Amino acid sequence: MTRQFPLPPGGAPISLPPVIHARFAIGDVVRHRLLEFRGVVFDVDPVFANSEEWYQSIPEDIRPAKDQPFYHLLAENSESNYVAYVSQQNLEPDISDEPVDHPAIAGIFEGFSDGRYALRREHRH
Domain boundaries, the chain: 18-123
For residue 8, pLDDT over 90 is answered with no
Lowest-pLDDT range, 3-12, 51-60, 70-79?
Answer: 3-12
DSSP 52: H
Fold of 18-123: SH3 type barrels. (2.30.30)
How big, in percent rounded to 5, are the helix, strand and coil portions of the chain?
15, 35, 50
* Confidence bin at 1 (pLDDT 50/70/90): very low
Segment 64-83 shows an average pLDDT of 97
For residue 49, pLDDT over 50 is answered with yes
Beta strands in the chain (DSSP E): 3-5, 14-16, 29-32, 38-45, 70-76, 81-87, 91-93, 109-113, 116-119
Segment 47-68 shows an average pLDDT of 95
Overall pTM > 0.85? no
